[in-house]
Amino acid sequence: MPNSQPIGVLDSGVGGLTVLKELQQLLPHENFSYLGDSGRAPYGPRPVEEIQAFTEQMIDFLLTKNVKAVVLACNTITVNCLPALQAKYSIPIIGMNLANEAANQISKKKSIAILGTAATIASGKHKEALEKTAPDARIHAIPCYDFAALVEAGHIGDEKAMDAISQYLSPVRGDADAVILGCTHYPFLAADIQSFMGDSATVIDPAALTSEDTLNVLKSHGLLNESSEAGKLDICFTGDLDQPKNLAKMAFQKEMSITSHQW
């Protein structure tokens, strides 16, 4: 079947599952091959050169699966490595949507918080995009050093999660009315973040926007799968499988078959 090759989706760990779910919903006939590098997570504190090297290793692994495109379901990788990866590989490499336009449309007070890993916030890419889209907005770029690690460890909806959310978001509660989840792990904490921020703030998950970007890229390259059958999922992690299985079940609301790959 033409264009039946899978779409590769990669992340530093389990966070990219939130993007994979949106991709599958928007592109139900596509096949997907997911790789989560949970054995080396988190990526946020790592030097950019190391993030780049690890990502190239993941893309090379996905190329052995004959993928036709790769979605970087990780903001840390997107903001630090996207141009270099697009220059190196001949297949389309799609990064996370920065949600700057969505945040500008949603925010009435023009007070927008960006949550991300240390590497994501340090890159300044989200802030730069927002400054171009919403030059009159007050932008609160907040590095949430342990959010990704909390999710990887399964701390969702518990006291540890709420303590961390309070620590990072207390300065903007009651002020920011749009909160961008600038890490694909953070949607697992979305309900907790929304509860803390209250009804006056809107939490923005860029996963759906990234899925729309992926659809547009596939269309423009003539790569859409022409099959009418439901696509298949191949999910693989490099670390222990217990927590990824639990979070995959949470994301997809069913048991998921997951395999392991060791570098």
Do 54 and 136 lie in one domain? The reply is no
Residue 29, pLDDT above cutoff 70: yes
Percent of the chain with pLDDT over 90: 99
Q: For the domain that residue 21 is a member of, what is the CATH number?
A: 3.40.50.1860
Which of 180, 205, 230 is the endpoint of a domain?
Answer: 205
Residue 155, pLDDT above cutoff 70: yes
Residue 1, pLDDT above cutoff 80: no
Return the residue matching tokens 């659809």: 215
Return the residue matching tokens 């949603």: 106
Q: Is 74 a catalytic residue?
A: yes
pLDDT at 52: 97
Active-site entry in 81, 144, 183, 236: 183
Q: In terms of residue numbers, what domain contains 137?
A: 100-205
Confidence of residue 98 (pLDDT cuts 50, 70, 90): very high
Q: Is residue 2 one of the residues assigned to a domain?
A: no
Which of 183, 205, 227 is the endpoint of a domain?
Answer: 205
Active-site entry in 74, 81, 144, 236: 74
Percent of the chain with pLDDT over 70: 100
pLDDT at 128: 97
Do 52 and 92 lie in one domain? The reply is yes
The Cα–Cα gap between 101 and 129 comes to 9
User: In this predicted model, what pLDDT tens digit does every residue of 170-216 receive, in sequence order?
Assistant: 999 999 999 999 999 999 999 999 999 999 999 999 999 999 999 99
Q: Is 81 a catalytic residue?
A: no
Do 235 and 115 lie in one domain? The reply is no
Query: pTM of the full predicted structure?
Result: 0.95
Which of 186, 205, 224 is the endpoint of a domain?
Answer: 205
pLDDT at 95: 98
The chain-wide mean pLDDT, for the chain, equals: 96
Burial of residue 225 (number of CB atoms within 10 Å: 0-12, 13-18, 19+): buried
User: In this predicted model, what pLDDT tens digit does every residue of 217-240 receive, in sequence order?
Assistant: 999 999 999 999 999 999 999 999
The Cα–Cα gap between 180 and 202 comes to 9
